[in-house]
Chains A and B, each alone.
Chain A
Amino acid sequence: MLSFLRRSYLNFSFMNPQYCCLSRNFSAALPPLLPVQLPSRMETHLWYVVPDEVKSAPLLSKYMELLPQSERDHVLGFRGDQLQKSALLARTLVRTTIARYQVDGHLDPRSLRFKRNIHGKPEVEWETKDGFCPPPLQFNISHTSSLVACGVTINSLIGIDVEEKRRRTKNNILAFAKRYFTAHEVEHLNAIPDSELQQQEFIKLWTLKEAYVKALGKGFSSSPFNTFTIRASSGIAVETLDSPQNLTNNWQFALLELMGSHYVAICLERQETGGAGKTLPIKLTARKTIPFVEDELVSGTNAVVTIGGSVTQF
């Protein structure tokens, strides 16, 4: 059965065997994932994969084997190699990342089950075995064809969104913003004379707004983009239109530039303040990974540059 699967996957052109094979032999069992301690209450873990760096057909085939049939079908439903590959890597990243946090022993990424909450946000469906207390892991994923990312916290609701810095809208930015953003945000964009900078600001705003809605996890229609403003002058904050005097203090943001090529927006439910309502910075640990192959701690390097929000990198 397994070899049949392997053969059929190798037929999918996005796993073209003529891509260079790593010297590792993946026909044997996969090496174990590097286990990681759960983030502390104040920490956020960011994991990411660069699809262009994952070329081994046998490895991709192994990733496919981690997924249940429904997820495999979903991956294969995407049109074209690149889309299928990033969809596969997104599912692989979320499964392998969560599996690493296993406190006692080895958790098989295959065994994870996912469900959606009442609003549609994906969650882990932990097995309710006797005495097993599931970790209060919160996660969120985002991907483009060139980057797949997963954010993890303990307890704190999280939303992340990634986008290529040089992403261009087909529509005129201001026309788009007038239709979908708030007046304040339009004003902010309009005030930027340089069109290149304006484009980048737009993308930053877009990712921050996406991250907020994903963190809320209540569905996009419960928070249309024109019902809340992201203010990013000193620090980043969100202000909902129905209570404009009240900067919504429940949410904290970070905006990162990853590898000089991508923006990553993170929105977190605020857990604790530093007393007198002072906000503590987000403690961030960022790792680049090729699951089962290599993990690289990149926080604090110039691969991960904080460009907005209060962040300490570890």
Chain B
Amino acid sequence: MAAASASSFTSLKSRPAPGLATIAAVKSGAPLSFSFRRPVPAVSRLRISCAAKPETVEKVAKIVKKQLALPAETPVTGDSKFAALGADSLDTVEIVMGLEEEFHISVEEDSAQSIATVQDAADLIEELVQKK
């Protein structure tokens, strides 16, 4: 289910921190989905960030495909959800570890929790790289 990955370079993102369960914030009244791999904080979180560079998104996609043994031509975009691609909790932790090694960063447990899509990972990476 590839979705368009349109991300402008600067965008004010207001969205829940979905965690690895593909869930919309309970408060929004959107339908709940139930893949309880990681629970989701009940509070929505406003994220103000610049969208990550396409190259970062590409690198994340590559690491994800490698971890999940997806064929290279599998369409993986910013909007692709880890869980939907077949990542379980062990895969996700391995992916985060791969990202830490690739980008020389350290991802805290609760930040890792908030990564649901490739875009989330790329944005977090750039945030952490900038802070270094």
Contacts and interface: CB of A to CB of B under 8 A. Distances in A.
Contact of B38 (A78, A140, A220): A220
Nearest to B89: A210
Interface in A200-254: 206, 210, 214, 217-221, 224
Interface stretch (B5-13, B47-55, B91-99, B123-131): B91-99
Contacts of B1: 76-77, 79
B94 A77 contact: no
A37 interface: no
Nearest to B85: A79
Given A69-B31, A71-B34, A78-B84, A170 B109 contact: no
Interface of B: 1, 19, 21-23, 26, 31-36, 38-42, 66-67, 81, 83-86, 88-90, 93-94, 97-98, 100, 109-110, 113
A303 interface: no
Given A77-B84, A144-B88, A176-B97, A70 B32 contact: yes
B90 A206 contact: yes
Interface of A: 68-71, 73-74, 76-80, 83, 87, 90-91, 114-116, 118-122, 140-141, 144-145, 163, 167, 169-171, 176, 179-180, 206, 210, 214, 217-221, 224
B94 A169 contact: yes
B43 to A, nearest CB: 10
Contacts of A221: 109-110, 113
A70 B113 contact: no
A119 to B, nearest CB: 5
28 contacts: A70-B31, A71-B34, A73-B31, A73-B33, A74-B33, A74-B34, A74-B35, A77-B1, A77-B84, A78-B83, A79-B85, A87-B35, A91-B34, A114-B32, A114-B34, A116-B23, A116-B40, A120-B23, A120-B39, A120-B41, A121-B36, A121-B39, A140-B36, A170-B98, A210-B89, A217-B39, A219-B39, A220-B39
Given A77-B1, A122-B34, A224-B109, A170 B19 contact: no
A149 to B, nearest CB: 13
Contacts of B38: 120, 219-220
A171 B89 CA distance: 14
